[in-house]
Structure formats: structure tokens, C-alpha cells
Chains A and B, each alone.
Chain A
């Protein structure tokens, strides 16, 4: 069955520093992969998605993610973090041939130090 693992529950980075959030997936075929962000009191917002093609995907707010099939990973990166990036980040994959429902990782909470 499809699954998503986000190994880091909480990460703290300094403002201006680079960021990498890890996501590992288990999927039977070439996966569709998503990163969502949830700011306090807000719903989830899609940051970026991978379906096929170029393995480096650009998203909103300066985020990017790289699909690495050999490592079953889809890590999220940002070269320079801003204080407003503090939020919870979720990686997700579709549940397979079961409609559009998504399977989410446990989430990584990002704190940003001034």
C-alpha cells in the first residue's frame, strides 16, 4: 500500500538559512507527489506537485522539490528561509486506484529563528 514518511517532526532554522524537509514514499508505480503547507489557523495550500518529466519541480513562495526515484524521496528545499515560512509542511501521494484521495505524511513543523 502507498505510504509517506516524513522523518523530521520538527525543524528549526535561522532566517536566511537554507532548508530541506525530507519525504520518503512507498508507491507501486511512478508516483504523483505533492507538498502542502499549513500555516497556523489556515487550511492547506499546495506548494508544488510532481507528475512526470523534469525531476526538479519549482513551486510557489520560492520552494522547490526534487524527485529521486532511486531513493524514493521527494525532498522540499528553499535556499533562504523567511520568518513567514514558519508553518507545518505535509508531503502526500494519491492512494492509488482509489479516486483522488491523498495519503499524507505526519508533517514537519518548521520554526524560524530571527
Chain B
């Protein structure tokens, strides 16, 4: 079946502009995550949605970052008034409910990412 898809694959914007990144999770996955990967760095958690629960926004770096998810489908990550330090690859992942029936964490499936460059 189809994997996680993200659009656009690349985005170049000018400092101060707003950008919107889109993630289409795997159908039926109730959990959705956004991570950021700066050049030469590991992934940083940004935000997490699980079903109808309130999202975990603890990783958002500033109030310029926000994300929405409609039900268990598409999510958008919005960055307002972009800064150069926002340049990174933004990765989306989805999974079935976090904890599997036999315990343990269900695998997170990652999309290919959106490479954001802020000039």
C-alpha cells in the first residue's frame, strides 16, 4: 500500500514568509509525528497527534510553528515568519496506535521529508 507522503519535496522561501508543509499518513494510522532534521543532526521531535487526544506540542521551538490534523488524515505544519535557522528537512511519520496489543511501540513509518530552505 501507499506509504507516508509529504509535499512539497523541496521548498525555498524568503525570510519572513509563511510556509505550509503537508503530510499524508498511511491510511488507518492513528498516530502522526513531525520531526525536524537540521544538516548533520539527528531528528528533533516537533509535535505528535494521537487520535482525538490533544496533540503533544512540547517539541515546537517557538510560537511561529503550528500544526493541525483533521481526524486521522492529513496534517499540515505551518511556519510563520520563517527564519534562516528554520532551514531543515521536515519529516513526518505515522503509526498505528502507539502501543501494540502485545506491548511495545508500533513502528513509525517515515515520509521522504520536505527540504525547507530559507534565504
Which residue numbers of A lie inside 8 Å of B, CB to CB?
4, 6, 32, 36, 41-46, 49, 51-52, 90, 92, 94-95, 98-107
| Docked complex Cα distance between A6 and B40 (Å) | 13
- Asked whether A43 lies within 8 Å of B111 as measured between CB atoms, the reply is yes
Q: Cβ of A100 and Cβ of B33 under 8 Å apart?
A: yes
Q: Which range contains the number of B residues in contact with the other chain?
A: 20 to 34
Q: Which residues of B contact A (CB under 8 A)?
A: 3-4, 31, 33, 35, 41-45, 48, 50, 56, 58-59, 91, 93, 95, 98-99, 103-113
Q: Is A98 a contact partner of B42 (Cβ separation < 8 A)?
A: no
Beta-carbon contact of B43 and A102 below 8 Å: yes
**Cβ of B42 and Cβ of A43 under 8 Å apart?**
no
In the complex, the answer to whether A44 meets B91 with C-beta atoms within 8 Å is yes
Expressed in whole angstroms, the Cα–Cα distance for A92 and B98 within the complex equals: 15
Query: Do A99 and B56 have beta carbons less than 8 Å apart?
Result: yes
